[in-house]
Amino acid sequence: MSNTNKDNNRITHFRLSLLDAKTHKQLFSVRFNRVAFFVTIVSTLVVMTALIFSVIAFTPVRTFIPGYPDAHSKRAAIQNAMKVDSLESVIFRWELYSENLRRAVEGEEPINIDSLIAANQKAAELAQDQDYLKKQDSLLRKEVKEEEMFDISSRNARKLPIEGMLFFTPLKGVISQGYDPVVHPFVDITAPKGSVVNAVADGTVIYDGWSEETGYTIQIQHGNDIVSIYKHNEKLLKKTGDKVKAGTPIALIGSTGTLSTGDHLHFELWHNGESLDPTQYISF
């Protein structure tokens, strides 16, 4: 039993020998086992990798790598940067000369070079003032926010034909009077009082207000030059400048205005300045 365990625990060794083909004389011999063999292979790979990396990183060999900038390329880039700076100075002088020439011809006072230099120095000093930069950043953010409030151009929106657009139902109800392009270029939808009126698509509210004839009215500008109009509401839930998503509640149905004879929604849909039949695109 003990001899069997000894045989199982015995480590297998290998011998690698180099012999003379004629005399069979042993020229070189080395003994190793499986563990030593794998350790030697891994160590050799690590050393070779480190050696190759060192040669590429710390010797001029790296310049032979395609796309790597050599000394000539760096020198050319520096020279080009200097030429660009010189050209900017020349252009500035010519612009200053032409402006002074124009002023002289028109009888105006020429530009004072000293004041221009002083202004540039003051601008450079302000550029280092952190409080001034923070103030200017706040003013810029406020200006951009105010401009975007009424940004209804939808520059980033995909331009789709109106037939390919999906519209949300503004109000589930019964159409009491249908669309007529001449006499009645809109539809009237009746529903219980207090029903919620929803936006038919993403957009921006461009009008909310009251008129004696149509009561509380709200208008929304959508992408692709589409405008939706909702009249005779009891209450408006959005105001001019608000961004709305399709299905967003914007009003409560009512019967305001002298032209209304009962609780209903007067709904109009316009595209490129022309009225459309809403029933062709929306299921009420």
The tokens describing 156, both together, are 């980033």
Per-residue pLDDT of 141-188, as tens digits, reads 777 666 656 555 444 555 556 777 889 999 988 999 999 988 889 999
Q: Where in the chain is the domain with CATH 2.70.70.10?
A: 162-280
Asked whether 149 and 206 are in contact (CB, 8 A), the reply is no
**In this predicted structure, what is the pLDDT of residue 139?**
76
Choose among 194, 236, 200: nearest CA to 215: 236
Residue 31: closest CA among 40, 23, 22: 40
Question: Tens digits of per-residue pLDDT, 195-238?
Answer: 999 999 999 999 999 999 999 999 999 988 899 999 999 999 99
* pLDDT above 60 for 87: yes
Looking at residue 2, what is its pLDDT? 47
Task: Return the higher-pLDDT residue of 69 and 117.
Answer: 69
Q: Specify the amino acid at residue 226.
A: I
Output the pLDDT for position 78. Answer: 77
Q: How many residues does the chain have?
A: 284
Q: What is the pLDDT of residue 254?
A: 93
pLDDT in tens, 97-131: 787 777 777 777 776 655 555 555 555 565 556 67
Residue 197 tokens, joined? 């009126």
Q: Which amino acid is at 280?
A: Q
CB-based burial label for 225 (10 Å; 0-12, 13-18, 19+): middle
CA distance 268 to 275: 7
Tell me what the mean pLDDT of segment 256-265 comes to.
91
Cα–Cα dist 123/143, whole Å: 21
Q: Which residue has the higher pLDDT, 108 or 254?
A: 254
| Structure-block tokens of residue 6 | 């000894």
Report the distance separating Cα 177 and Cα 264, nearest Å: 10
Give the residue-averaged pLDDT of 78-101.
Answer: 79
Q: Answer yes or no: are the C-beta atoms of 278 and 271 closer than 8 Å.
A: no
Q: Domain 162-280 belongs to what topology? A: Glucose Permease (Domain IIA) (2.70.70)
Structure confidence by residue, pLDDT tens digits, 18-63: 887 888 787 778 787 888 888 888 999 999 999 988 887 777 777 6
64 pLDDT higher than 60: yes
Please give the model's pTM, rounded to 2 decimal places. Answer: 0.47
Most confident option among 5-14, 30-39, 82-91, 258-267? 258-267
* CA proximity to 154, closest of 239, 248, 224: 224
Is residue 57 within 8 A of residue 51, CB to CB? The reply is no
